[in-house]
Each structure stands twice: as structure tokens, then as C-alpha cells.
Amino acid sequence: MAVFDHFYRLARGDFSNVNLVMIVLLPKKEGATTVGDYRPINLIHSVAKLVAKVLSRRLATVVNQ
């Protein structure tokens, strides 16, 4: 609970930084030259990821009832 309380106090009113995602292209093989030779991954803020996971689990129990 302390994590969520801290998150709430830090992000009160301004969630713009929490919602940022950085897309990084990792080469699938050495010497990648075309777009198809890269694998995109999304780097998301760990707190946002944690909050999203907890909310989805709590909502899943309500939706299933």
C-alpha cells in the first residue's frame, strides 16, 4: 500500500510522465540494416506497470462476478 500512496502523492494531478513509453528497436541479428531486422520493445515506467497490473487483477474479480 505504501507504494500506491507514494505514487499518488508524486503524481497528484500530473500523470503525463507516468504515461510515457519509450520504444526501443533491438536488432534481431548482427548487421541489421532494414526495419524488418529489428524487434521493437516498449519500455514503460515500472510504477505505471505495477499500478496497471493491480488494477487489472482487481477489475477481473469484479467483472467475473
For 8-65, what is each residue's pLDDT tens digit?
776 666 666 667 788 999 999 999 999 999 999 988 877 777 878 888 888 888 887 7
Supply the pLDDT for residue 55. Answer: 84
Q: Which helix (H) or strand (E) holds 50?
A: helix 46-63
Q: What is the pTM of this model?
A: 0.46
Q: Which region holds residue 31: left if phi is over 0, alpha if psi is between -120 and 50, else beta?
A: left
Query: Nearest CA to 54 among 64, 65, 42, 46?
Result: 46
Query: Which domain does 46 fall in, by range?
Result: 2-63
CA distance 65 to 58: 12
Number of domains into which the chain is organized: 1
CA atoms within 13 A on the CB side of 48: 12
